[in-house]
Structure 1
Amino acid sequence: MSLPSHSAHASSERRLRGLYRGLSAADRDTLLAFAEFLAGRAAAAPISIPAPEPIPRPEEESVIRAMKRLSATYPMLDKARLLNETSQLMTQHVMQGRAAVEVIDELEAVFARHYQRLCEACE
């Protein structure tokens, strides 16, 4: 089972909120009961998160190539959720002259941390 993208998830959530607001109190209760039923059913069927596909880190690697490598290593991660942290690190490298090796080390930690959170959320 694949996970929906962040934007698709947000769009569905907005749509659901709009529908919910238009319902009577009794229909809202029914919708909540059905949502709880579905959530319980989903909890019974755990989502299988694929293992990362490790790609060896080259000795000489640019930050851009590292981002591509890590994206390929962790294809199951929602890149939109990584954007804030990864763009901050990229900015530190490009605008502030932070060493590529240091930034890549941190990028690897960011991707690993997001993968761990994804696995924990699906347990």
Structure 2
Amino acid sequence: MRESKRLVQIFRSLSAARQQALLDYAEFLAGKENAETAAAPPAEPLSIPRPAEENVVKAIQRLMQTYPMLERNEIFHEASAQMTRHLVHGVAAVEAIDELERIFARQYQRHLEALNKDLLLP
């Protein structure tokens, strides 16, 4: 017997008050399911194109949006280093942004490797 048919049979066997309670609970669970799905970051990077003219701060913001699944704290140090290279050491914005893109891509690969490792654990 399919689960939905079983659920209908159980529902029909309940009093009106318990039917309402079951409906309330089902709506609660459905709401939690939707909230959990909406709260979960995407598994793959988003496609946010790099503008022709972009400063380093905007690039970091774009890359954070592109890779929402990454832990910001893990990237912060390397991103800060690129900002320092640009502002203090005079590295061109384009060069710093290119390096930022490599950093984010590398962090994403580490993220995938960690996920795969977790899946292989017993």
Q: Quick check: TM above 0.5?
A: yes
Provide the residue aligned with 2:81 in structure 1.
88
Provide the residue aligned with 1:61 in structure 2.
54
More relative contact order, 1 or 2 (CA 8 Å, 6+ apart): 1
Question: Any residues of structure 2 matched to 1:14-29 within 5 Å, and which?
Answer: none
Q: TM-score, normalised by structure 2?
A: 0.60
Deviation per CA, 1:37-75: give whole Å up to 9, x if none: xxxxxxxxxxx9700002000111000000000000000
Q: TM-score, normalised by structure 1?
A: 0.60
Provide the residue aligned with 1:72 in structure 2.
65
Structure 2: segments with no counterpart, 5+ residues = 1-40, 117-122
| Cα distance in 2 between the residues matched to 1:98 and 1:91 | 9
Whether contact under 8 Å (1:49, 1:119) holds in the other structure is no
| SS at structure 1 position matched to 2:91 | coil
Structure 1 stretches of at least 4 aligned residues deviating more than 4 Å after TM superposition:
none
Higher helix share: 2
Structure 2 residue 97 is matched with structure 1 residue 97: no
| Cα distance in 1 between the residues matched to 2:88 and 2:62 | 22
Aligned sequence identity (%)? 51
Q: How large is the Cα RMSD of the aligned pairs?
A: 1.4
Structure 1: segments with no counterpart, 5+ residues = 1-47
Question: Any residues of structure 2 matched to 1:43-54 within 5 Å, and which?
Answer: 50-54=43-47
Task: Say how many residue pairs are matched.
Answer: 76
Whether contact under 8 Å (2:42, 2:68) holds in the other structure is no
| SS at structure 2 position matched to 1:122 | helix
Task: Letter of the 1:108 partner, please give it.
Answer: E
- Aligned-residue offset at 1:109: 0.4
Provide the residue aligned with 2:103 in structure 1.
110
Task: Letter of the 1:86 partner, please give it.
Answer: A
